[in-house]
Amino acid sequence: MTGSEKTSARMTQNRELCKGCGYCILQCPKDALSFSSTVNRKGYNVVDIDQEKCIQCAICYTVCPDSVFERVEA
């Protein structure tokens, strides 16, 4: 997807729900996800989204067991 095709949609995340399994990182087709250096209140290593690489395909939403991600219209 080129820049001109980018929509107003945006991936958001609720980091407090994350359990740090990393399934989203494995499945992301654009390598837009990576483990953050921070932990959430449960003590799990959470995930960062690189919004520049992200194409809002929502595969992270599909695979996440903990409903961390959502695709919203900006």
Q: Which of residues 16-45 bind other proteins (CB under 8 A)?
A: 17, 19-23, 26-27, 44
Closest separation in Å from C-beta 49 to other proteins: 14
Q: Are 35 and 19 in contact (CB under 8 A)?
A: no
Record the tokens describing residue 22, joined without a space: 């990393």
Q: Does 48 bind other proteins (CB under 8 A)?
A: no
**Residue 55: is it exposed, middle or buried by C-beta count within 10 angstroms (0-12/13-18/19+)?**
middle
Residues that bind other proteins in the complex, under the rule CB under 8 A: 7, 9, 17, 19-23, 26-27, 44, 56, 58-59, 61-67, 69-73
